[in-house]
A and B are shown apart, each in its own frame.
Chain A
């Protein structure tokens, strides 16, 4: 039995547009489970990003509740929400949002330093560990404008998980990246998931969706369906340590070459399974 870490009940979101109410989310009930890599898919305008921001406390739903740690977070004050974002939730966005006057490492350290229970050394050690895993050590002292999109997005992920959040929310994290960097970022997320990190990711990229062990399809603001998969890290040949130690000078096909390391048949089956399910959802 999986443990529920967040639950949305009757979640509605609507906007007034020139006198008419536009309903983006319609009475959504959703549970997120500990250790799951949940991916929300749907067509453009289906409400998937709105769902992510409403259940993560980044936006206020028009109706309904979001229960986290036995508390409805929709009614929390700005201060409590800020605390939630600092220590319980992590965020990764489609555009790479790093503070441009801080180095990659500093971007990561800032939320870490907000945790008064941790010493400076503990925060720095965790940041170093994350940077090493993400192969960012060489770039850690560079400004966001001095690194590649992939490096910047990996740093953004490191920042999102520096305080070991209960859930990592990712909104199309590979949307602004090229193929090579997309692979690296997704590998990183799979690695985090393998280590127990719960993830909710919104995407319309099937390759990204393959990383999930739970897929949710959104259509017209409602949950159209969902499917379970075995965790990606359980695929034969998935060796995080060797896979992730990438060289930034590799050519753009490196991701494809590496993908070959995973059992081809298992991967194909998984892709077919997902495609078939998506077809059944009118994707």
Chain B
């Protein structure tokens, strides 16, 4: 044992740089892993607990007075039905006011909001002040409001800001007093939002607002009698027994809320975890490189050890212990650094996720993950150190070096015009193996960079249209809206003629309605021009009144497909519809279907279509701005407004997060490239010292030699980039689909834009060149005297 200790100490002393590199790599892996795992698990646990603490149940149903002739009577009837339903253990009916927010900070918010008396005893929310401190039972004055934390990013507002609630002339100015945590609907991703105001303001709205600006609603909160029952079964059973959802504005289950609430965290952490796993693979490759490098450097020492009778297994164990110990120290060192990072990430994600998650390290899952990594590292080290057995003492004492004999089809002649590059290339191909790790690492990094770049291109510019198509049935490029639907209706023909003078166009009217589909309340997009639907991946559009299109996600969840019949219901009407096609829409997290006007009229025979908004697909994209100007100039006074849809996601959290992830990916890539260059070049310097001396004696200056050295890495990075691009082209679609499946988008036709492919290749090549050039300053120290035998 003492001899083993001495050997390990000796190894540490001799290969300090190698151990430090492994430490740094594992430290980075540890920081990333602990941070991401802690954020995900903390959020998951916190959200579950927070849901329970609100006192709300497994299914929430909003019913508005506009659906009933006698609302009070209907409430009584439903209360009875719900109490008779034996799958429900508890049913709460919470009075809410349904109203609107016309505009906050210049952002037009199209969704309905629900207002609850903040003193309501039926629901309990946690309230926070400006500094994110929990406030117990705060006093809320008249004119003050408590909003979900996601308002911060949705509308760029903070405590003290004011906005109006209501519609038209019936509005009430309110001042944000606090934020609250809504674990059911607080996420940035959900359009539906709950707000808390004082009972005085509720009375004011009821007394002063007209029906156009508000509606009385009731929020039913239902708890399951059997906690093992699946939410979807529970929902169907409740709807079958009570038909309550047919009259509801929307229903949502606890599981669905949980999925929405975790969606952003899951997506970002999923991308980061994928990247971190890649970092682990890279770290293992680098580790392997390190080990073979140190074995090569220590060839003579191993020969001596063997000559004095130290066994192969002891030598192997000594190396393994050294590296495993370094990994463990790296992991442990990463934890204290991860803790403040968890706080930072939580702070960033809070307004997006909508909940106030604790910032503590999840040591259980982190330790398990680290042990798993250590296990793989251990196996890998065992494989790498196996070569020690093949070293005979004589071979080792002779330094084990072999002459260069290479013949390669890749060999190119030395060129006069490109002398430095051709020499660099020759050096590269004559020792290809040295660069394998650089090539593999580049390939991995490029795959991620290409994917993140592609996602970035979807956030703005021309490619952003693709993102829009994923969430809207039709990718329109102009919207015309009127303050009053009758004004828009009156001028519609004139506006259409005006557009037709400039370009061909398609006009689309669409609305969204939650209806029952096989006893589940599902978002239904109703469209008057089904031929314009752009994201059909299988089958055809819904041309007839008994046809629907369904998202792939929903079709999978319901277990139905093209040609199958489903029952769609609203109020007391129920009709059969045939599924004619599948779409790749992320609308309502993929849980949506589409029918045409005629289809919906089967359910609501006396429906009157009045429109405040019309969507246009103007064929000549260049004319859109002119048309917008014309319409606004001519009809602006009537409250009719035309806007170009530029698809730019601007500073919305998805865009910001993707940008943030790209910064993380590029930064970590730079670190890994630097480490790779340091490791690979360490081995090369040892081997090529004499060559530098020769070339210096031939008249090459240090600058040229350094440039040759750096060019080799650049060429290797091009080879890796090529591999990376091939991998990205082959698997990128699947990876992106995997990410977007979390949004409910199951199918993406991925066409990489040239910048998405070229930028990573150039960035990686530049990084390799710069780092290799910096590292190559060691060439300065190589004197031509290395060639001299004294």
- Residues in A with CB closer than 8 Å to B675 are none
How many Å from the CB of B694 to the closest CB on chain A?
A: 5
Q: Are B701 and A78 in contact (CB under 8 A)?
A: yes
Q: Are A100 and B697 in contact (CB under 8 A)?
A: no
How many Å from the CB of B671 to the closest CB on chain A?
A: 31
Q: Which residue of B lies closest to A165 (CB)?
A: B699
Q: Which residues of A, 193-227, contact B by the 8 Å Cβ criterion? A: none
Q: Are A85 and B414 in contact (CB under 8 A)?
A: no
- Residues in A with CB closer than 8 Å to B308 are none
| B interface footprint on A88-129 (CB within 8 Å = 1, 0 otherwise) | 000101110111111000100111011000001001000000
- Residues in A with CB closer than 8 Å to B704 are 82
Q: Which residue of A lies closest to B697 (CB)?
A: A91
Q: Are B403 and A100 in contact (CB under 8 A)?
A: yes
User: Does B619 reach chain A (CB closer than 8 Å)?
Assistant: no
- Residues in A with CB closer than 8 Å to B790 are 49
Q: Are A101 and B427 in contact (CB under 8 A)?
A: yes
User: Does B788 reach chain A (CB closer than 8 Å)?
Assistant: yes
Q: Are B699 and A49 in contact (CB under 8 A)?
A: no
| A interface footprint on B429-441 (CB within 8 Å = 1, 0 otherwise) | 0110000000000
How many Å from the CB of A47 to the closest CB on chain B?
A: 11
A145 to B406 CA separation, bound complex (whole angstroms) = 10
Q: Are A78 and B694 in contact (CB under 8 A)?
A: no
A95 to B785 CA separation, bound complex (whole angstroms) = 12
How many Å from the CB of B328 to the closest CB on chain A?
A: 41
Other-chain residue from B404, B783, B787 in contact with A93 (beta carbon distance below 8 A): B787
A117 to B692 CA separation, bound complex (whole angstroms) = 24
Q: Are B788 and A120 in contact (CB under 8 A)?
A: no
Given contacts A102-B426, A120-B416, contact A97 B405 (CB under 8 A): no
User: Does A33 reach chain B (CB closer than 8 Å)?
Assistant: no
- Residues in A with CB closer than 8 Å to B784 are 53, 58-59, 85, 91
Q: Are B404 and A97 in contact (CB under 8 A)?
A: no
Q: Which residues of B, 537-580, contact A by the 8 Å Cβ criterion? A: none
Q: Which residues of A, 43-101, contact B by the 8 Å Cβ criterion? A: 49, 53, 58-59, 78-79, 82-87, 91, 93-95, 97-101
How many Å from the CB of A51 to the closest CB on chain B?
A: 12
Given contacts A58-B784, A100-B403, A110-B423, contact A95 B789 (CB under 8 A): yes
Q: Are A145 and B403 in contact (CB under 8 A)?
A: yes
Q: Are A78 and B702 in contact (CB under 8 A)?
A: yes
Q: Are B406 and A101 in contact (CB under 8 A)?
A: yes
Q: Are A58 and B405 in contact (CB under 8 A)?
A: no
User: Does A256 reach chain B (CB closer than 8 Å)?
Assistant: no
How many Å from the CB of B669 to the closest CB on chain A?
A: 30
Q: Are A82 and B427 in contact (CB under 8 A)?
A: no
Q: Are A85 and B423 in contact (CB under 8 A)?
A: no
- Residues in B with CB closer than 8 Å to A58 are 697, 783-785, 788
Given contacts A87-B699, A91-B697, A101-B427, contact A143 B404 (CB under 8 A): yes
Q: Are B414 and A113 in contact (CB under 8 A)?
A: yes
Q: Are A113 and B416 in contact (CB under 8 A)?
A: yes
Q: Are B693 and A102 in contact (CB under 8 A)?
A: no
Other-chain residue from A49, A84, A100 in contact with B691 (beta carbon distance below 8 A): A100
Q: Are A85 and B697 in contact (CB under 8 A)?
A: yes
Q: Are B788 and A111 in contact (CB under 8 A)?
A: no
Q: Which residue of B lies closest to A84 (CB)?
A: B699
User: Does A149 reach chain B (CB closer than 8 Å)?
Assistant: no
User: Does B696 reach chain A (CB closer than 8 Å)?
Assistant: yes
A244 to B417 CA separation, bound complex (whole angstroms) = 34
Other-chain residue from A53, A78, A159 in contact with B785 (beta carbon distance below 8 A): A53
Given contacts A93-B787, A97-B787, A113-B416, contact A146 B697 (CB under 8 A): no
How many Å from the CB of A93 to the closest CB on chain B?
A: 5
Q: Are B783 and A59 in contact (CB under 8 A)?
A: yes
- Residues in B with CB closer than 8 Å to A163 are 699
Q: Are A111 and B691 in contact (CB under 8 A)?
A: no
A54 to B417 CA separation, bound complex (whole angstroms) = 33
- Residues in A with CB closer than 8 Å to B695 are 99, 110
Q: Which residue of B lies closest to A163 (CB)?
A: B699
A215 to B431 CA separation, bound complex (whole angstroms) = 44
Q: Are B405 and A143 in contact (CB under 8 A)?
A: yes
Q: Which residues of B, 693-718, contact A by the 8 Å Cβ criterion? A: 693-704
- Residues in A with CB closer than 8 Å to B694 are 97-99
Q: Are B696 and A82 in contact (CB under 8 A)?
A: yes
- Residues in B with CB closer than 8 Å to A93 are 697, 787-789
User: Does B20 reach chain A (CB closer than 8 Å)?
Assistant: no
User: Does A151 reach chain B (CB closer than 8 Å)?
Assistant: no
A95 to B404 CA separation, bound complex (whole angstroms) = 17
- Residues in B with CB closer than 8 Å to A145 are 403-405
A170 to B486 CA separation, bound complex (whole angstroms) = 101
Q: Which residue of A lies closest to B693 (CB)?
A: A97
User: Does B206 reach chain A (CB closer than 8 Å)?
Assistant: no
User: Does A231 reach chain B (CB closer than 8 Å)?
Assistant: no
User: Does B419 reach chain A (CB closer than 8 Å)?
Assistant: yes
Other-chain residue from B413, B415, B426, B700 in contact with A82 (beta carbon distance below 8 A): B700
User: Does B509 reach chain A (CB closer than 8 Å)?
Assistant: no
- Residues in B with CB closer than 8 Å to A94 are 788-789
Q: Which residue of B lies closest to A95 (CB)?
A: B789
| B interface footprint on A133-144 (CB within 8 Å = 1, 0 otherwise) | 000000000011
User: Does B602 reach chain A (CB closer than 8 Å)?
Assistant: no
Q: Are B416 and A59 in contact (CB under 8 A)?
A: no
A-B contact pairs, 20 of them (CB 8 A): A58-B785, A58-B788, A83-B699, A85-B697, A86-B698, A93-B788, A94-B788, A98-B694, A100-B691, A101-B406, A101-B426, A101-B430, A102-B423, A109-B416, A110-B419, A111-B699, A120-B416, A120-B417, A143-B405, A172-B789
Q: Which 6 residue pairs across A and B have the least CB separation, nearest first?
A: A86-B699, A101-B430, A82-B701, A145-B403, A113-B416, A111-B698
Which residues of A line the B interface, CB within 8 A?
49, 53, 58-59, 78-79, 82-87, 91, 93-95, 97-102, 106, 109-111, 113-114, 120, 123, 143-146, 159, 163, 171-172, 175
Extra A-B contacts (16), CB below 8 Å, given A53-B784, A100-B430, A102-B426: A58-B697, A78-B701, A82-B704, A83-B699, A93-B697, A93-B788, A94-B788, A95-B787, A97-B690, A97-B697, A109-B414, A110-B414, A120-B417, A145-B405, A171-B788, A175-B789
